[in-house]
Amino acid sequence: MTVRIAIAVLALIAGCDSRAKAQDPSGGRGEPKSKEYETCNSSVACADELRCFDQVCKRTSRSTVGDYFAALGATARKRGDGEAAIDAYNRALGHYDTEKLALPPDIDCAYGAALADAATNKEHAELGARVLHRCLLAVPVGSSLRDQALADLAKLSDVGLDPLTLGRTALADVYLTRTPAAPSSDKLGVTVTADPATSGLKTFQAVADKLGEAGPHGALVACWQAFNAATHKDTLTSTVGIKITYTPSEYEDESGTFGLKLDPASPADQCVHDAVDAGLKDFKGAKEAMQAKLTVTIK
C-alpha cells in the first residue's frame, strides 16, 4: 500500500510544470507585454519602463524642458508660424540629447510634420521625409501617430518624395528623388505693385490692367514655368523699372504724346522684363507721367 502511494506521488510530481508559479497561471507562457504606443488595460500589461496612460503604453523617462519646447512647437504650428515651430522642435531634440534621454517618437513625429508643412523649402522637405520615416519605424501599426505620419508624408509627394524609400527598414540617404510635380498654371495670378506707390494714378492702373490681359499674362506665365522648373518654387517676383513721359504738342489744337521706356533688366529679371516690354509695346492707356519700380509677382 505504501509503495502504491509513493508511486502515485511521483507520477503527480512528474506531470507538473516546474516553471509554473502561483502568479503565473499559464505555466510561464504569459501574454507578451505591450510595446510603446500599443494598447493596454493596466501598467502590468506594458513592457518594462512603460506605464499605461489612457489605455496606451508610454514611457515615463522624459525631459520636462524638452517636452516644453515640443509644446511650444505645437503652439507655433497651430498659429501657422512654421519656422518658429521647427526651431522649437529642434530645441526639444537638443534638450533630450543633452540629458542623454532617448527621444520619444511622438516628438519626432511632430517635428517631421512641422518640416512637411514647410515643403516649399527643399531642405525642410528632405529632412521632413527622413524624420517622418524615422517616426514610422518607431511606432506600431494601427497607432494614430503612424496614421498621421503617413498623412504628413503625403504632403511631400508633389515635391518629389519616392514612396519606395519608406518601405525600407532603415533610413534612406535621400528621399526626394522624383521630379516634383509642377503646380497648374491655370490658376496663376499676376499682381503688380509700384514703388513709390502710384495707386492714385490712372496710368499705373492702366499698366496693371494691360499686364493682366491674355497676351502679356501668357508671356508672364511662361516666365513662371521656366522659373518653377529651375527652382521648384511657386512664386516668381521680378522688378522692372518703368518711365512714362509726356511731351506737349507744338500745336495748340493737338494733344501731346506719351512715351514709355523700361530700365535695363538684371539677368534674373530678364524674362519678366521682356514680357512686360512686349505687353506694353502698343500701350495707349497713359493719362499722366509716371516713373516707378514695378514689382511683378506671379503665383
Per-residue pLDDT of the chain (299 residues; tens, 9 = 90+): 444 544 444 444 444 443 334 344 444 446 789 999 999 999 999 999 999 999 999 999 999 999 999 999 999 999 999 999 999 999 999 999 999 999 999 999 999 999 999 998 999 999 999 999 999 999 999 899 999 999 999 999 988 999 999 999 999 999 999 877 666 667 788 999 999 887 568 899 999 999 988 888 999 999 998 998 888 788 999 999 999 999 998 888 888 899 999 999 999 999 999 999 999 998 988 989 999 999 999 98
Cell numbers 529679371: residue: 269
User: Are the C-beta atoms of residues 150 and 135 closer than 8 Å to each other?
Assistant: no
Cell numbers 501731346: residue: 256
Nearby residues of 219 by Cβ (< 8 Å), 6 or more positions away? 274, 275, 278, 279
* C-alpha–C-alpha distance, residues 204 and 166, integer Å: 52
* C-alpha–C-alpha distance, residues 208 and 110, integer Å: 43
Cell numbers 518607431: residue: 138
Give me the half-sphere count of Cα atoms (radius 13 Å) on the Cβ side of residue 231: 14
Cell of 50: 512603460
End-to-end, the C-alpha distance of the chain in Å comes to 101
Q: What is the DSSP letter of 248?
A: -
Would you state the pLDDT for residue 57? 96
Q: At what angle are helices 122-138 and 105-117 packed, to 10 degrees?
A: 150
Q: Give the total residue count for the chain.
A: 299
Which has the closest alpha carbon to 113: 129, 97, 94? 129
Q: What is the pTM of this model?
A: 0.57
Would you state the pLDDT for residue 81? 95
